[in-house]
Structure 1
Amino acid sequence: MGEIMKYLVLVSHGGFAEGLKTSLAMFAEDKIDQVIAVGLENGKSVDDFAVVFREAISGLTADDSVLVLADIVGGSPLTTACNVLAEVGKLDDATILGGMNLPMAVNSLVMKDVLEGSDLVSTVLGEASSALQEFVIASDDDEDDDEI
């Protein structure tokens, strides 16, 4: 019997989830086999997405759990993913977060096996929020003013 796994599941509109997975591989190559990414492709129906998503999670065992990151809470990729997770008995112990970005995904992948429940949620969301900031480049003029 294999070890119990917690998978990071990325769902999005379009290719965002798959693109995020390729970026994640640059930060946590050793854990990338624990990442499942599925996007609702343009022109495809939610039923199409459900079929693809069901296949993507078909390797999960009875004891495995999921941490789901979605681009938009309430969007059809997430609601459809939740329906499929419910069908296979994986929704009750799932943790689901919306508004995914790269820092959030990196943190989720690294911390999912270290923290549980609200500790995991607060850590991951805290990192995602603090990553949102303006990058201000100081000009030479500003530096001159400081020296007066």
Structure 2
Amino acid sequence: MVVASHGGLCRELLITAEMILGPAAQTAAAPLATGVSLQDFAAQLRQVVAAVQQEAGVLLLADLAGGTPCNVAAVLAAQSEEIKVVTGVNLPMLLEVLSRREGLSLEELAGIGATAGQGGICRVSTGN
């Protein structure tokens, strides 16, 4: 599993998830730093994906639909059926996929991630 984002958000999400769930094997962050070219980020993301890839493939969670991390991830996914991309990464999504990834197909895991990400959004306060 790879979490890709603008800036260090991806690293912090993984650190927080590991604080809650414990160490997470075969996971990595792919931060897009300020000033990094599209080509350099694409090369970085390919390297990170290759480093964690297993037989089941790689689930790539990106921060923002239409942003560079998501767009580059989408290009990689178009080149390989062993990469699935879900955007809008948040902590509920990450916790759910990390805790349920054993024994599930990549497609099932991507669906669970999307559902958990959406389900983790709720309005707590009411009123004015």
Q: How does 1:88-127 map to 2 (within 5 A)?
A: 91-116=80-105, 119-127=108-116
- TM-score when normalising by structure 2: 0.80
Asked if structure 2 preserves the Cα contact closer than 8 Å seen for 1:14 and 1:40, the reply is yes
Q: How does 1:1-148 map to 2 (within 5 A)?
A: 8-30=1-23, 32-60=24-52, 63-84=55-76, 91-116=80-105, 119-136=108-125
Change (3 A) 1:72 1:61: closer
Q: Which moved more, 1:58-67 or 1:40-49?
A: 58-67
Change (3 A) 1:42 1:123: same
Pairwise CA RMSD of aligned residues? 2.6
Q: Which moved more, 1:66-75 or 1:113-122?
A: 113-122
For 2:2 and 2:118, the matched residues in 1 are separated by 20
For 1:110 and 1:92, the matched residues in 2 are separated by 23
Greater Rg, structure 1 or structure 2?
1
The gaps in structure 2 that reach 5 residues or longer are: none
- TM-score when normalising by structure 1: 0.71
The gaps in structure 1 that reach 5 residues or longer are: 1-7, 138-148
**Secondary structure of the structure 1 residue equivalent to 2:121:** coil
**Secondary structure of the structure 2 residue equivalent to 1:129:** helix
Alignment-mate amino acid for residue 64 of structure 2: I
CA offset digits 1:16-75 (Å, max 9, x no partner): 111111111112223x23211101111111122123223323435673510111112232
